[in-house]
């Protein structure tokens, strides 16, 4: 079996599925390039039993989809099979082939990119519902896995289905990008030996998507690799963005517009502001698109501490999207005319680089909250996780706005407030930083009428230089190495 890097939780789930004494119906979803097919194929392909794998064709007709399905049947079970004309007929052929397979061996049915298979008026979902509920659910050796990159389609039609497939799933796997520790493990597996700071620089640019990380080369620094995969003419990540969106969403131009607006308002904006800037109405369609972007991992919805859902706002958190819109798009015209290493070398010295690094590091931290909690010795203390911001109501008021990047509202009557800072050298904690945190705390306590104990934590990419200012207010310093620790 080809080695599976990371994915311990998912591998454990698949082990349970394979060894179960009952029929299993598993939904596996996650964004394009995340490694869904790789995980399933490499887990099951050399295990005893039959592994039936059919993949949907993007924009293919129902005839195309059924032809591919028939070819997979022939490859897995026996040759000479005619192409079915309907999905009912296709699943009947699969059912008969499974029953004729030797003994009670496991039958793995892997329907890959199901959203592409389910063409308009194909009635695939109705056929799938019928055969699961009347045939396959009674066969303990059948393990049905369905997969799709269009996470919103998978959620609407399978995971949260209202019709015949409602509550039929036995397990769900939402495959996420690699964490920092998984990224390091994967790079080492590919012979790429970089320290944690170099890996962070790569992660902030392209995230933990295995297919993107596969483009990196040994012997090159983070900057050299970013230059190669993002700024050389025709490179994967200089052209990937539009393909990525169109593969995930129908009418992806509307999703692209939302992402562009969020990239320009990187601190986050609410739905009313989004509607105004995108010339959309605040209604079901905008909500639907925001939900789709969130389910695909591009954005995150935040409800500030102490507020209701009325105050929800959205932030762009996908590293590659932030990087692409900030750096690649404005410099596309230079890709054919300048050496790639010169482009990124100059950009990384520009005034906007530090601000981008700060937002990108925040996005990384939001995905490693469990590691941060462990580093703060809170793994055994129940805590609600959130963030908070106070926007100055009008320019005439004396009270300045304030924002707290991360909050742990703990069951032990303590609230841990976290300040996230990216730094390329050890962080200098001075009187100005102290006063800034004191201001944020004062506004937070006043606006929330908070009577709990307040502890501060600095989350920094490099260690903080401890001094009297630091000791006066900060209880913990979580550093980059903490984010790399496995849980």
Please report, for the domain that includes residue 152, its CATH number. 3.40.50.300
In a domain, 274, yes or no: no
In a domain, 82, yes or no: yes
Structural contact between residues 484 and 365, judged by C-beta atoms closer than 8 angstroms:
no
Of 145, 174, 203, which closes a domain? 174
In a domain, 480, yes or no: yes
Tell how many helices (H) and how many strands (E) occur in the chain: 22, 15
In a domain, 331, yes or no: no
C-alpha 62/C-alpha 127 separation (Å) is: 14
371: tokens are 């590691």
Of 132, 154, 174, which closes a domain? 174
CATH number of the domain that residue 443 is part of: 3.40.1350.10
DSSP symbol at 376: T
In a domain, 436, yes or no: yes
Number of domains in the chain: 2
For 406, the domain range is 370-484
The values of phi and psi at residue 21, to 5°, are: -90, 15
**24: exposed, middle or buried (C-beta count within 10 Å: 0-12, 13-18, 19+)?**
buried
Of 156, 174, 192, which closes a domain? 174
Q: Tell me what pLDDT residue 394 has.
A: 66
Classify strands 24-29 and 107-112 as parallel, antiparallel or unpaired: unpaired
List the chain residues with pLDDT less than 50.
Answer: 1
In a domain, 254, yes or no: no
Closest CA to 141 of 278, 225, 24: 24
In a domain, 468, yes or no: yes
CA distances from 220 to 74, 178, 223, 229, 376 (A): 45, 21, 8, 12, 34
C-alpha 468/C-alpha 431 separation (Å) is: 9
3-class secondary structure per residue, 223-282: HHHHHHHHHCCCCHHHHHHHHHHHHHCCCHHHHHHHHHHHHHCCCCEEHHHHHHHCCCCC
Q: Tell me what pLDDT residue 406 has.
A: 96
In a domain, 247, yes or no: no
């Amino acid at each position: 079996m080809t080695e599976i890097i990371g994915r311990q939780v998912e591998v454990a789930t698949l082990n349970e599925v394979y060894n179960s004494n009952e029929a299993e119906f598993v939904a596996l979803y996650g964004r394009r390039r995340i490694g869904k097919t790789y995980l399933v194929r490499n887990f099951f392909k050399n295990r005893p039993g039959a592994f039936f794998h059919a993949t949907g064709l993007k924009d293919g007709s129902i005839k195309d989809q059924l032809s591919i399905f028939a070819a997979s049947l022939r490859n897995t079970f026996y040759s000479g099979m005619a192409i079915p004309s309907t999905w009912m007929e296709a699943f009947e052929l699969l059912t008969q082939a499974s029953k004729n397979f030797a003994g009670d061996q496991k039958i793995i049915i892997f329907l890959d990119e199901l959203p592409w298979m389910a063409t308009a008026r194909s009635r695939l979902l109705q056929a799938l519902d019928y055969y699961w509920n009347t045939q396959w659910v009674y066969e303990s050796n059948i393990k049905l896995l369905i997969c799709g990159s269009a996470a919103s389609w998978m959620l609407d039609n399978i995971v949260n289905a209202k019709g015949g497939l409602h509550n039929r799933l036995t397990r769900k796997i939402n495959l996420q990008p690699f964490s920092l520790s998984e990224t390091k493990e994967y790079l080492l597996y590919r012979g790429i030996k970089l320290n944690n700071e170099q890996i962070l620089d790569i992660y902030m640019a392209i995230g933990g998507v295995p297919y993107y990380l596969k483009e990196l080369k040994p012997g090159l620094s983070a900057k050299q690799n970013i230059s190669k995969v993002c700024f050389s003419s025709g490179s994967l990540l200089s052209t990937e963005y539009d393909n990525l969106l169109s593969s995930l969403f129908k009418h992806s131009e509307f999703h692209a517009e939302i992402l562009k607006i969020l990239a320009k308002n990187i601190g986050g904006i609410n739905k009313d502001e989004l509607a105004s800037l995108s010339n959309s109405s605040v209604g079901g369609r905008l909500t639907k698109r925001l939900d789709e972007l969130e389910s695909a991992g591009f954005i995150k919805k935040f409800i500030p501490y102490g507020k209701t859902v009325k105050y929800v706002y959205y932030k762009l958190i996908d590293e590659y999207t932030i990087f692409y819109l900030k750096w690649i798009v404005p410099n596309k015209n230079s890709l054919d005319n300048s050496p790639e290493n010169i482009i990124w070398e100059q950009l990384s010295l520009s005034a906007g680089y530090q601000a981008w690094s700060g937002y990108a590091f925040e996005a990384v931290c939001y995905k490693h909250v469990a590691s941060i909690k462990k580093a703060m010795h809170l793994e055994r203390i129940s805590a609600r996780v959130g963030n908070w911001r106070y926007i100055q109501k009008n320019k005439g008021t004396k009270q300045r706005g304030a924002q707290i990047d991360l909050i742990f509202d703990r069951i032990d009557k303590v609230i841990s407030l976290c300040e996230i800072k990216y730094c390329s050298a050890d962080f200098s904690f001075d009187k100005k930083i102290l006063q800034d945190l004191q201001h944020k705390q004062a506004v937070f306590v006043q606006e929330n009428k908070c009577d709990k104990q307040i502890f501060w934590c600095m989350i920094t990419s490099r260690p903080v230089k401890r001094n009297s200012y630091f000791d006066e207010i900060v209880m913990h310093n979580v550093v980059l190495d903490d984010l790399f620790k496995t849980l």
